Amino acid sequence: MTDNKPKSASKTSAMWGGRFEGGTSAIMDAINASVDFDRRMYAEDITGSKAHAQMLAEAGIIAAADADSICAGLDEIGKEIAAGGFEFKRELEDIHMNVEARLRELIGDAAGRLHTARSRNDQVATDFKLWVRGALDGLDADVQALQAVLIDKADAHADWVMPGFTHLQTAQPVTLGHHLLAYVEMLGRDRSRIVDARRRLNESPLGAAALAGTSFPIDRDATAAALGFDRPAANSLDAVSDRDFAMEYMAVAAILAVHLSRLAEELVLWCADQFRYVRIADAFSSGSSIMPQKRNPDAAELVRAKAGRVIGGLAGFMVVMKGLPLAYGKDMQEDKEPVFAVADTLALSLAAMTGMIEGALFNKDRMRADAAKGFSTATDLADWLVRELGMPFRDAHHATGALVKMAETKGVDLDQLSLADMRSVEKRIHDGIYTVLGVENSVASRVSFGGTAPANVRSQVASARRRFLGT
Amino acid sequence: MTDNKPKSASKTSAMWGGRFEGGTSAIMDAINASVDFDRRMYAEDITGSKAHAQMLAEAGIIAAADADSICAGLDEIGKEIAAGGFEFKRELEDIHMNVEARLRELIGDAAGRLHTARSRNDQVATDFKLWVRGALDGLDADVQALQAVLIDKADAHADWVMPGFTHLQTAQPVTLGHHLLAYVEMLGRDRSRIVDARRRLNESPLGAAALAGTSFPIDRDATAAALGFDRPAANSLDAVSDRDFAMEYMAVAAILAVHLSRLAEELVLWCADQFRYVRIADAFSSGSSIMPQKRNPDAAELVRAKAGRVIGGLAGFMVVMKGLPLAYGKDMQEDKEPVFAVADTLALSLAAMTGMIEGALFNKDRMRADAAKGFSTATDLADWLVRELGMPFRDAHHATGALVKMAETKGVDLDQLSLADMRSVEKRIHDGIYTVLGVENSVASRVSFGGTAPANVRSQVASARRRFLGT
Amino acid sequence: MTDNKPKSASKTSAMWGGRFEGGTSAIMDAINASVDFDRRMYAEDITGSKAHAQMLAEAGIIAAADADSICAGLDEIGKEIAAGGFEFKRELEDIHMNVEARLRELIGDAAGRLHTARSRNDQVATDFKLWVRGALDGLDADVQALQAVLIDKADAHADWVMPGFTHLQTAQPVTLGHHLLAYVEMLGRDRSRIVDARRRLNESPLGAAALAGTSFPIDRDATAAALGFDRPAANSLDAVSDRDFAMEYMAVAAILAVHLSRLAEELVLWCADQFRYVRIADAFSSGSSIMPQKRNPDAAELVRAKAGRVIGGLAGFMVVMKGLPLAYGKDMQEDKEPVFAVADTLALSLAAMTGMIEGALFNKDRMRADAAKGFSTATDLADWLVRELGMPFRDAHHATGALVKMAETKGVDLDQLSLADMRSVEKRIHDGIYTVLGVENSVASRVSFGGTAPANVRSQVASARRRFLGT
Amino acid sequence: MTDNKPKSASKTSAMWGGRFEGGTSAIMDAINASVDFDRRMYAEDITGSKAHAQMLAEAGIIAAADADSICAGLDEIGKEIAAGGFEFKRELEDIHMNVEARLRELIGDAAGRLHTARSRNDQVATDFKLWVRGALDGLDADVQALQAVLIDKADAHADWVMPGFTHLQTAQPVTLGHHLLAYVEMLGRDRSRIVDARRRLNESPLGAAALAGTSFPIDRDATAAALGFDRPAANSLDAVSDRDFAMEYMAVAAILAVHLSRLAEELVLWCADQFRYVRIADAFSSGSSIMPQKRNPDAAELVRAKAGRVIGGLAGFMVVMKGLPLAYGKDMQEDKEPVFAVADTLALSLAAMTGMIEGALFNKDRMRADAAKGFSTATDLADWLVRELGMPFRDAHHATGALVKMAETKGVDLDQLSLADMRSVEKRIHDGIYTVLGVENSVASRVSFGGTAPANVRSQVASARRRFLGT
């Protein structure tokens, strides 16, 4: 029979061992230990353990003095870690064992009572849920901050006219304020998803133990309440094997990242010399020592790109969870790094985007000039024919097409056609038509709910402040 | 200057044209036309158009008679399509133009008034939202149906003992009912996500027009109400360029598909000869003409695999939306096929899973036998030492380890160790210990909320019926 | 014990059964049967079966007359299917059983000998490999066709000057021919990947039987040769469970799709009014009845978007294969639909892109004008200082920055600064400097291998024709 | 007009600034600077710069003494970094500027000549290509090491009988050696992909400069040769904007990771008490203080899971590259972190898998016993009927089905049926049939090329050693 011990001196193991001095145990440490990244949950681990210890004491499972000692020790450890003086040990594998081992050093045998009626499985799930909950709260604040600067900018530019694009072709004039508020709506849905995800995850796994629950008379309602959960999770097997909250967090994040990538794309476009609609502050651009006038929208490009990381993190973690039997499997340890990476990526992207928008200097003339190009008020003309002359929509379109063609041939804009010219196409046209042809007239006329008229933008700004900023 | 017309007779165009008889126009039709798939939204298109026509009449924008004529024509078209007698034309590009062209045939010029104060952009968004909303409702019903059979099975097997696994290693005994209820919880979260997604999408894009709103005095609240939306979308640019609802639908679906893949994996495992915990009904297995006893869990494997399609659909559509500037871009036409594929995939997967669970025949003896293996009640023993003798948790673990090692050496199970044996490790042990060592004792003792005890399972069944089935 | 038969009349099954008339068997048919899509491999199935039958006869395993009869019958079936007269039956599950059942109708019992020493597992793998091999060949031809039109366009525009962008900011002038050749290089790497993938997949699974090989004295070399494979696959378990070729095909396709999305993005940008570098032929644009001058680059947007479908197909199928134990699992049936979708998507995207490029009309003036903006020859100036005056690079940059600032202040371009102006910054500057400052001078000077000089472009065109078109 | 400077004291910026002390510049540093991760390419940066400096001297562009000074300085910096004494500065943004700034400190103004005829764009592409090339070489060695232990194990277990599974159901007996060699084939394809990817990337971007090439008389062939590239890249725009090599590296890695996940899944299954086919060495398992007999296959689960990270990295980076216009964009800076993560993940996964296989102790009895279950030789019986009695395949299947049913009813195995029993189904059966019914007979009979017979396995082992290990 084959010998069960890896031959550490063999040629092949030397090959792979070369990268991992210390041989197999070094490899196992490297793949298995999680303390290098899960230390980030130290505060949650301490909070969770304190709640558990207090409940154990209140339920009479451990002595009150032991609980006090445990809590004091944990507080001490929290301070040590916060101060940077804690020595994390890889051989203790994860943050939980690092904290527990230190607790034993600090308070002695009482530390051994903390793990009563608990397992690492429910402890990990609890800590990580608390962390993700905090990440959702932070994300909500960050998104709100971006909404706030967008709303301010929309307010300040409620009547600045710019081209409204479809297919990146000028379609109709809109207002810059209206355009910016579109993102406020997207971000509003993101925040709504954040709130839903937070509410849904807010069930406590603590007390599910390894997977089957426990025979100790624990009070799961008490620990749930102490940790701000709405209730204990209803099924212990589910509680330890559920990572929905991580998947949902990343799904919410990915849709948000897509939104940011769209806004970032627009900033990159608008910074191009061909557009020049915006100037991003120096702080968020990079220059060239040789072309001092140049400013590359680096931060916008990076925000655009970082959607890739978030989408990849989501897809990758779904791969991890696919086809896993119940209950806990070590595969689930792959949950934290993508979630941490997504959280960092979004915090940074949102900060950068908020900064860019706040410092953005828009170019009124360039936007106004482009808005007027391409017969962008043709729709207004057609609508006027329908509204004022009662023409059927498709006939009005036909007449408008003829007028646009005429203007194109003459090399003039629609409002530069004479009334005679117009009447050669449709004899009932009268000079009322000129009231809808300028871009200012056009945007001012679009007063349907949600439309681009400056008056609408101003009321939408007020509404957005109420709905999203609570002001 | 280069000639702008593709040389249809050139060697190169012959190469690519070879696959597309009819040359460039055939290629453009093939890539551009969407009626081959978007015809699936015909009912939504008709409903949306009727609501729009009625509103136009009520607002005095078109004549009541025209609206009546339009609605009657649309109803007629709906019947034609439902009956299979409608001729879809690719050159009319999409379902919307196919319906409108037919309407003109049926009712003449009045058809031309339908498109007043509307654009294909808001029309598409409205139709597709209505379709996705219906898909969410259907999905909720399908998930509930699976919950119902799982709850019934859990009820019927509330006290059947099986191994509880971690790392696919026997960890502690649990009950089959408890195990099945874990999936009921997962599916409950899925339904909660469905409800949230439905609520969030339920804002009407209709009236956003091309992108800027309209100058016609439309009543967006009226069309929103007529179509069952909660309110009109607040920003017209956002309304036509938003595809969050498609992304969120697929994200919800992907998490659900991961859940189904986990249950499917367990069915595949449990059907293996090495487990033999379950026998799937013939209807969902495939056999072998040569090995009549063989039954392959084909349907379970397919459900497991189909998570890939859903995750791929989600990731792929996020790629489409990444970095798109506002407002409408043709890229967004890539929204429907993945959503339709995801909807079909999930309907099928859920139907198959519901059928498999409903017809599943579990093997009590096999599960019970495996549950008792591997000293699965070691934790119960340790907990007893803590609870009854007041030993610190870590010390109790140490003593238990010694007892397991002793049992392993003797080749017996824990409850077959004599009291003398036990006392050789810890002298305070008394015969009360035998009450926790059998697997039935073990599961019965786990009465903490959410634990696996049969009594808990029964109350969880009742609670699940109330929470998820409304009974 | 639970009854193993699904209660078809139960309330719950009615819920899910509702969508699948015919109950459980209809559900199983819908999820299990593959003939709706795998019929696409009918020609490969017939070719593979003929090779197998001939080998069986040559090896003396079946009679020559039987083999002849089988082959004649298969040819007949091939004709029936090609003519559209074949009735596919879902209850026969897949293309293989449909063909075999029809063969029995046509030639009687001899049909029963075809499956000797073969299993559906190696048959499926063989058919699908043949299909993917054909898809790779078709893809190579399609990519080559696009290279051909790009090279022609590069040749025709070898000296047209346009801005070279970094960060979508004008950086240095380049030539349009040079820009287009960049895509020829990308596509060249794609073709190189196609060739490698084809070579790698070209091992025959036929004869691996169910998974273990066979005891019949088959000649796998013979069938491999007959089917154009380089050799038989070396391990029967691997042969039936390998889907690397599908994953690699989609990976190759995904990188190609990314390339196409980049070119498509540039077309969309260049069609924007702000750029107007190109006019795409009417055949690949969509217009507006109301704005006749408008042309939306729909086909380019769709090509850009379709990268999503390909990337999603790749990621999704990797999810399917992740964690599958050997050998064949039904999960693998999920291989065909994404591969077919990717093949169709790419054929269409390439045909559309080839057509767009072939008919593209570039705007020399617009590109030339933009190329000259933004002091795009600042690098040339700095290089001149280094080369002619021997200044260290960083010092030359500093001086150039000062000159650009001066030009910016004066509102002139670099070549409009007087020699006196220039000497105020660096007194050694002489009038040789003006030879490098115009954009034509700039591009003409970049003669390093791979550089943008028109002379280089022309030699690169010749080289590309040789390397990629064999001309 | 809006002020362009972010109001650092505003309420909103305080919100997002809170996480980034130092305000906007801290945010920009955090999102923009890459030195925290790209320092990993320091050796490639130094090698690339030395090759460039030497070429500049040889081409007479800089003085030989300057080149010598530059190279000596770079060597010194390499030593400083290797020794850990180098101070990386975030404000210098990336590894390239950190090295250059230090070079100036060390050698003064001559440092300023290094960047002649080079840009950061071609420098980054060169460095990263060199790094990925090294990663491919390392990967090839790691995969070969795993092949080596698999081949050794296959050799040692060439005739150990185990069940061959389809659908995780026992289908036919195979040999363990044969099963392990299936993975050797998969890994062989992976290595073939690695070789192809390496060859394809091996074109030098150096000398492409910013994007347009240069007017300096550089010798790109010389730098290419000095850096081990096969040739210079043919198009300068492509050279700086190409990240195919990163995508292809991750695609190759992802298919490999899928293979590892399949082997890992089998290890997890085989470690389950229900299988017990293998015992993984302690070094790669984790235990339980309370259940000393327990060993969780943690490392196998982690290898299985890590496929997710690799697939996510691939998909995510394709998202980044999708739709990027030429040439360089800052988005591309997102290339390194996923590539580094994939490289680390695979190195670790391969080391762990190699260690697990090397130390794996297989259980001959368990595998042999399972192989005999489920009438696994039914196919052999049917093949015998075809071969010896000349029955058509489908008839032989029918007779076999009847015999299996009979054996099942009697509760015996096929080789325990009497000749009389057999003849009651097919009267021509004679006692030669017993030669194919035992599992040893079955595997021994499968001698077709690639089949599972021990003799085949031994020759395949020899062949694999030749093909993959060069021995």
pLDDT tens across C172-192, in order?
999 999 999 999 999 999 999
**D101-120: average pLDDT:** 93
Q: Nearest chain A Cα to C404, which residue?
A: A291
CB contact under 8 A, B401 and D295: no
CA-based nearest distance D142→chain B, Å: 27
The 3-class SS string of chain A reads CCCCCCCCCCHHHHHHHCCCCCCHHHHHHHHHCCHHHHHHHHHHHHHHHHHHHHHHHHCCCCCHHHHHHHHHHHHHHHHHHHCCCCCCCHHHCCHHHHHHHHHHHHHHHHHHHCCCCCCHHHHHHHHHHHHHHHHHHHHHHHHHHHHHHHHHHHHHCCCCEEEEEECCEEEEEEEHHHHHHHHHHHHHHHHHHHHHHHHHHCEECCCCCCCCCCCCCCCHHHHHHHCCCCEECCCHHHHHHCCHHHHHHHHHHHHHHHHHHHHHHHHHHHHCCCCCCEECCHHHCECCCCCCCCCECHHHHHHHHHHHHHHHHHHHHHHHHCCCCCCCCHHHHHHHHHHHHHHHHHHHHHHHHHHHHHCCEECHHHHHHHHCHHHCCHHHHHHHHHHHHCCCHHHHHHHHHHHHHHHHHHCCCHHHCCHHHHHHHCCCCCHHHHHHCCHHHHHHHCCCCCCCCHHHHHHHHHHHHHHHHCC
- CA–CA distance, B20 with B32 (Å, rounded to integer): 14
Q: Active-site residue D167, yes or no?
A: yes
A8, A25, A288, A459: the active-site residue: A288
Q: Would you state the pLDDT for residue B362?
A: 98
| Whole-number average pLDDT of chain D | 92
Inter-chain CB pairs, A–B, below 8 Å? 361
Q: Which residues pair with B170 in a beta bridge?
A: B165
- Whole-angstrom distance, CA of residue D201 vs CA of residue A423: 66
Higher model confidence: residue C386 or residue D143?
D143
Task: For tokens 């081409």, name the residue.
Answer: D59
Give the model's pLDDT for residue A22. Answer: 62
User: Which pLDDT does position A326 carry in this prediction?
Assistant: 96
ipTM score: 0.94
pLDDT tier at C14 (50, 70, 90 boundaries)?
A: very low
Measured between CB atoms, which of A297, A374, A398 is closest to C273?
Answer: A374
Share of chain A above pLDDT 90, in %: 84
Q: How much is the pLDDT for D62?
A: 94
Mean pLDDT of C300-328: 97
Residue A425's pLDDT is what?
94
Q: Which residues of B touch A165 (CB under 8 A)?
A: 325-327
pLDDT in tens, A84-140: 999 999 989 999 999 999 999 999 989 989 999 999 999 999 999 999 999 999 999
Contacts of residue D199, Cβ cutoff 8 Å, sequence gap at least 6: D230
Per DSSP, B438 falls in state S
CB distance A269–C168 less than 8 Å? yes
For residue A111, how many other CB atoms are within 10 A of its CB? Answer: 24
Phi, psi of A19, rounded to the nearest 5 degrees: -85, -10
Mutate to test the interface with C, among B319, B322, B335, B349 (most CBs of C within 10 A): B319
- Answer whether A112 sits within 8 Å of B392, measured CB to CB: yes
Q: Which amino acid is at D193?
A: R
**Does the pLDDT value for residue D7 go beyond 80?**
no
pLDDT of A17 above 70? no
Between B342 and D386, the more confident residue is B342
Mean pLDDT of B319-324: 98
In this prediction, residue C7 carries a pLDDT of 41
Q: How many residues does chain D have?
A: 471
Q: Is pLDDT larger for residue B285 or for residue C454?
A: C454
Mutate to test the interface with C, among A162, A166, A168 (most CBs of C within 10 A): A168
Q: Which chains touch C (3 or more CB pairs under 8 A)?
A: A, B, D
Q: Which residues contact B227 (CB under 8 A, 6 or more apart)?
A: B47, B48, B51, B126, B130, B204, B206
Q: Higher confidence at residue B239 or residue C391?
A: B239
Residues of chain C by 3-state class (helix, strand, coil), percent to 5: 70, 5, 25
Describe the crossing of helices B24-32 and C298-321 by its angle, rounded to 10 degrees.
Answer: 60
What are the angstrom distances between the C-alpha of A367 and each of A179, A280, A362, C434? Answer: 12, 16, 9, 36
Residue-wise pLDDT tens digits, B186-223: 999 999 999 999 999 999 999 999 999 999 999 999 99
Nearest C-alpha neighbor of D282 from the set A3, A325, A88: A3
In chain C, residues with a C-beta closer than 8 Å to the C-beta of B347 are 19
Distance of alpha carbon C434 from alpha carbon A215, whole angstroms: 90
Instruction: Provide the pLDDT for residue B20.
Output: 61
Min Cα–Cα distance to chain B from D145, Å = 27
B398 CB contacts (<8 Å, ≥6 apart)?
A: D289
Identify from B331, B332, B349, B363 which residue to disrupt to test chain C contact, counting C C-beta atoms within 10 A and taking the largest count.
B331
Model confidence band, residue B249 (pLDDT cutoffs 50, 70, 90): very high
- Chain D residues with CB under 8 Å of A316 CB are 308-313, 315-316
Strand B161-166 relative to strand B169-175, pairing: antiparallel
Alpha-carbon distance values, A300 to B320, B331, D46 (Å): 19, 22, 30
User: Using the beta-carbon criterion (under 8 Å), do C325 and D264 form an inter-chain contact?
Assistant: no
Lowest-pLDDT range, A40-49, B90-99, B245-254?
Answer: B90-99
What per-residue confidence (pLDDT) applies to B321? 98
Of A299, A304, A349, the CB nearest to D32: A299
Q: What is the pLDDT of residue B1?
A: 36
**Active-site amino acid positions of C:** 167, 288
The structure tokens listed for D361 are 């102790």
Does the beta-carbon distance from A215 to B446 stay under 8 Å?
A: yes
**Which residue of A241, A279, A319, A471 is the best one to mutate when testing the D interface, meaning the one whose CB has the most D CBs within 10 A?**
A319
Nearest one of C347, C348, C264 to C305, comparing CA atoms: C264
What is residue D15's predicted lDDT score, i.e. its pLDDT?
39
In chain A, the residue whose alpha carbon lies closest to the alpha carbon of B443 is A212
* Active-site option among B10, B192, B288, B418: B288
**What is the pLDDT confidence band of residue C241, given thresholds at 50, 70 and 90?**
very high
| Record: contact D174-C215, CB cut-off 8 A | no
Q: What value does the mean pLDDT take over residues A421-447?
A: 93
CA-based radius of gyration for chain C: 31
Spatial separation of the C-alpha atoms in residues B120 and D119, rounded to whole Å: 48
pLDDT computed for residue D149 by the predictor? 98
pLDDT tens-digit series, residues B123-170: 999 999 999 999 999 999 999 999 999 999 999 999 999 999 999 999
The chain-wide mean pLDDT, for chain A, equals 92
pLDDT score at A282:
87
Q: Do B294 and D169 touch (CB under 8 A)?
A: yes
What is chain B's Cα-based Rg? 31
Q: Do D213 and C308 touch (CB under 8 A)?
A: no
* pLDDT score at A13: 37
- Residue C424: Cβ within 10 Å count: 14
**For residue C13, what pLDDT is reported?**
37
User: b/e for C397-413, b at 16 or more Cβ within 10 A?
Assistant: bbbbbebbebbbeeeeb
Taking an 8 Å cut-off on Cβ atoms, the answer to whether D323 and C308 are in contact is no
Give the model's confidence band at A248: pLDDT under 50 very low, under 70 low, under 90 confident, else very high. Answer: very high
Asked whether the predicted pLDDT for residue B14 surpasses 60, the reply is: no
CB contact under 8 A, D286 and A311: no
What are the C-alpha distances in Å from C452 to residues A107, A412, C146, C259, C357? 73, 39, 21, 20, 20
Mean pLDDT of A249-274: 98
- Using an 8 Å Cβ cutoff, are A167 and C297 in contact? yes
The angle subtended at Cα C219 by Cα C213 and Cα C221, nearest 5°, is: 100
Does B288 participate in catalysis according to the annotation? yes
- pLDDT surpassing 50 at residue C10: no
